[in-house]
């Protein structure tokens, strides 16, 4: 039923019609008409952030933990440019997001007006798609189309730039049912995998003796059913499973078939299995450089199956023997069905030698560390945190970027998808705190923890104010080594220990800082006090900044050094000079 209303009213109406209940934003001159509409309704809750980047990461956390589209509303000019980092982050990690920006009135566009910027020009390469709406009668179509594009196919951020005069203008609003966005004239993502290719894939799987499932964020994006199908397929086949950073949680960390994360800081067994396998089954991952290491020595003896909804991911970095374009969930479900139709027998015997080999790699205990004395090892801190919340169903973890992120991925196993939020592709420091707030908005009663570093967390620290305002009791667990730990580690490995600007001087007193914001501050620097301090954090009804002072020079291991293949990892028990492992050629590569 078409209705007459203003452009600003259409935006809020469309959000309501799309089932949006929470949005993250910051007002400004070019979005005032929309804020006026928000003021006069109570269906859409607006969370006022402290910086537009925070709004984008909150929307990412919200989206990743619910499977819904995250929504951001910001003003023109600086509002839009501040959102660019989060848009790029969402694009790299395939997070569904709709970002609405205000723009100066259409007659002023191009005149260098106050708070004008070329928003669609700036965001063209960091969104899945973007729009500048110059006619109010296009607005409802664009709004519904944006939601459809953001969540379908390979999800991603979509931006809609709305000039102020269009927000004031009267026009005709059409609801989602009248627009039929799924019959878009040019955008038709392929979701169903080719049945013959799926059957061929199962045939390869039935014949393989050293197989491995390499799963990624696509399984999480595909929804909880995809994770269910993955678990079912893994159980049927008896194959080992490893995952990228983005895919953690899709397969339970407690399973015997779980090898741990793979890649640069992944487990020895996962990387060795990838290197020595005869069949690699990639489900929704994209052969990122942090995963493959040296491309020409990547898994030399395997056939490779790649399931991805984005055709451009296939054969981009690694040559694929059997590509299947489609939605991970649908393809996994089909694989289960086809497998069942072909055999009832367990392949345990055929796979026994492979599992024996994997067991020998596991014995290397590549995530091992030794906690001795009172100085807290960062890995130990994460382990104690995990032990304190183990078994709870409502635990969500976000991270910042750096060593702490890798340690969290190594030492905090997940049983369910959508419970782990991290910036994988872009590696955005400052992601975790606002992402945690976004998760807490979606899950008010859950326990949301940001495993942070003291350097990263300061990039978006001001969002503590948002957490306090909306009584969102996020727990910011800061592994404080007074260093940009990963930078420091690379300088040790690659630059002769010349620690150029990689230490944090003049750090704030995080306890006082938490109190200044109206939150709760905790400091712990003794391993013996850690459990009690973690309990204090979990018991607090407020947002908490937990300043956990840890060993300052701990390196994040294991590690595949630059320019090396998977089977040449540096393990924690390595005794030589790590600086010698990487040659001049490797140093040239990031």
Partner 1 sequence: MNAHLQPTGSVYFLAPETQTPERHTLSVLVDNEPGILARIAGLFSARGFNIESLTVSETEHEKGLSRITLVTVATPKVLLQIKLQLERLVPVHKVHDLTAEGRALERELALVKVAGTGEPRAEALRLADAYRAQIVDATTESFVFEITGKPSKIDSFIAIMVPLGMVEVVRTGLAAIGRGAEGM
**What residues line the site for partner 1 (CB under 8 A)?**
120-121, 124-125, 128-129, 132, 149, 184-187, 289-290, 292-296, 310-312, 314-316, 562-563, 584, 587-590
**120 or 538: whose CB is closer to partner 1?**
120
Least Å distance, CB 278 to partner 1, is 22
DSSP 381-418: HHHHHHHHHTT-SSEEEEE-SSHHHHHHHHHS--SSTT
Least Å distance, CB 296 to partner 1, is 5
From the list 3, 41, 43, 114, the catalytic residue is 114
Asked if 115 is an active-site residue, the reply is yes
**21 or 125: whose CB is closer to partner 1?**
125
Least Å distance, CB 133 to partner 1, is 11
Q: Tell me if residue 466 falls in helix, strand or coil.
A: helix
**10 or 314: whose CB is closer to partner 1?**
314
Q: How far is CA 441 from CA 189, 385, 448, 457, in A?
A: 31, 22, 10, 19
List the Cα angle 30/32/33 in 5-degree steps.
Answer: 105
Asked if 406 is an active-site residue, the reply is no
Within 8 A by CB and 6+ apart from 316, the residues are 286, 287
CB atoms within 10 A of CB 567: 16
CB atoms within 10 A of CB 417: 26
**253 or 563: whose CB is closer to partner 1?**
563
Within 8 A by CB and 6+ apart from 212, the residues are 239, 240, 241, 242, 259, 273, 274, 277, 279, 280, 281
Choose among 129, 327, 315: nearest CA to 220.
Answer: 327
Alpha helices in 113-242 (DSSP H): 119-123, 136-151, 164-168, 176-179, 195-207, 217-221, 224-237
From the list 5, 10, 18, 52, the catalytic residue is 52
From the list 272, 280, 486, 537, the catalytic residue is 486
Within 8 A by CB and 6+ apart from 313, the residues are 286, 287, 306
From the list 5, 34, 97, 164, the catalytic residue is 164
**121 or 444: whose CB is closer to partner 1?**
121
Least Å distance, CB 589 to partner 1, is 6
Q: What are phi and psi of 70, to 5 degrees?
A: -85, 140
Least Å distance, CB 256 to partner 1, is 31
**430 or 561: whose CB is closer to partner 1?**
561
Q: How far is CA 493 from CA 360, 486, 571, 582, in A?
A: 28, 10, 14, 8
Alpha carbon of residue 424 to chain centroid: 5
Least Å distance, CB 214 to partner 1, is 17
Decide: 247 and 265 in contact? Cβ < 8 Å: no
**122 or 416: whose CB is closer to partner 1?**
122
| Residue 184, CB-side half-sphere exposure with 13 Å CA sphere | 17
**289 or 394: whose CB is closer to partner 1?**
289
Tokens standing for residue 222: 């595909």
From the list 115, 371, 462, 469, the catalytic residue is 115
Asked if 440 is an active-site residue, the reply is no
Least Å distance, CB 284 to partner 1, is 16
Asked if 114 is an active-site residue, the reply is yes
| Rounded-to-integer distance, Cα 314 and Cα 320, Å | 7
Least Å distance, CB 152 to partner 1, is 11
Q: Which of the residues are catalytic? A: 52, 114-115, 164, 486
């Amino acid at each position: 039923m078409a209705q007459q209303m203003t452009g600003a009213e259409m935006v809020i109406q469309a959000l309501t019609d799309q089932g949006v209940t929470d949005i993250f934003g910051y007002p400004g001159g070019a979005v005032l008409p929309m804020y006026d509409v928000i003021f006069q309704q109570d269906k859409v809750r607006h969370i006022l952030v402290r910086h537009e980047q925070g709004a984008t990461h909150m929307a990412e956390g919200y989206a990743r933990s619910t499977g819904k589209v995250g929504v951001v509303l910001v003003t023109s000019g600086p509002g839009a440019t501040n959102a660019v980092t989060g848009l790029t982050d969402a694009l790299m990690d395939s997070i569904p997001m709709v970002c609405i920006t205000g723009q100066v009135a259409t007659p002023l566009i191009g005149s260098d007006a106050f708070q004008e910027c070329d928003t669609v020009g700036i965001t063209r390469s960091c969104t899945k798609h973007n729009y500048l709406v110059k006619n109010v009668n296009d607005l409802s179509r664009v709004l519904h189309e944006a939601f459809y594009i953001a969540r379908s196919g390979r999800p991603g951020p979509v931006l809609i730039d709305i000039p102020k005069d269009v927000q004031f203008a009267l026009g005709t609003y059409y609801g989602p049912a009248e627009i039929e966005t799924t019959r878009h004239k040019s955008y038709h993502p392929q979701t169903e995998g080719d049945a013959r290719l799926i059957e061929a894939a199962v045939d390869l799987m039935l014949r393989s003796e050293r197989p491995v499932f390499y799963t990624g964020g696509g399984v999480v994006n595909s929804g909880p059913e995809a994770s269910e199908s993955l678990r079912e397929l893994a159980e049927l086949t008896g194959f080992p499973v490893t995952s990228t950073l983005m895919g953690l949680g899709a397969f339970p960390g407690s399973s015997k078939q779980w090898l741990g994360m793979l890649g640069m800081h992944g487990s020895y067994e996962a990387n060795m299995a990838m290197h020595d396998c005869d069949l690699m089954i990639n489900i929704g991952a994209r052969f990122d450089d942090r995963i493959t290491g040296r491309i020409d020595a990547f898994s030399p003896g395997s056939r490779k199956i790649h399931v991805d909804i984005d055709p451009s991911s296939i054969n981009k970095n690694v040559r694929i023997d059997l590509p299947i374009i489609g939605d991970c969930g649908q393809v996994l479900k089909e694989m289960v069905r086809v497998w069942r139709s072909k055999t009832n027998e367990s392949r345990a015997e055929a796979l026994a030698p492979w599992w024996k080999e994997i067991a020998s790699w596991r014995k290397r205990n590549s995530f091992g560390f030794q906690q001795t004395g009172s100085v807290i090892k960062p890995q130990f801190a994460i382990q104690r945190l995990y032990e304190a919340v183990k078994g709870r169903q409502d635990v969500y973890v976000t991270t910042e970027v750096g060593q702490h992120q890798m340690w969290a991925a190594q030492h905090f196993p997940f049983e369910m998808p959508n419970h782990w939020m991290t910036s994988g592709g872009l590696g955005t420091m400052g992601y975790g705190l606002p992402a945690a707030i976004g998760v807490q908005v979606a899950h008010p009663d859950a326990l949301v923890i940001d495993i942070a570093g003291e350097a990263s967390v300061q990039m978006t620290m001001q969002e503590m104010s948002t957490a306090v305002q909306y009584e969102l009791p996020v727990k910011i667990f800061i592994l404080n080594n007074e260093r940009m730990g990963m930078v420091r580690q690379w300088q040790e490995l690659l630059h002769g220990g010349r620690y150029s600007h990689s230490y944090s001087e003049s750090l704030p007193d995080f306890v006082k800082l938490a109190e200044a914001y109206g939150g709760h501050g905790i400091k712990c620097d003794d391993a013996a006090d850690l459990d009690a301090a973690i309990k204090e954090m979990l018991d607090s009804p407020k947002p908490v900044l937990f300043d956990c002072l840890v060993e300052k020079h701990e390196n994040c291991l294991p590690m595949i050094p630059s320019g090396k293949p998977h089977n040449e990892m540096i393990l924690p028990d390595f005794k030589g000079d790590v600086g010698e492992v990487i040659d001049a050629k490797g140093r040239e590569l990031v």
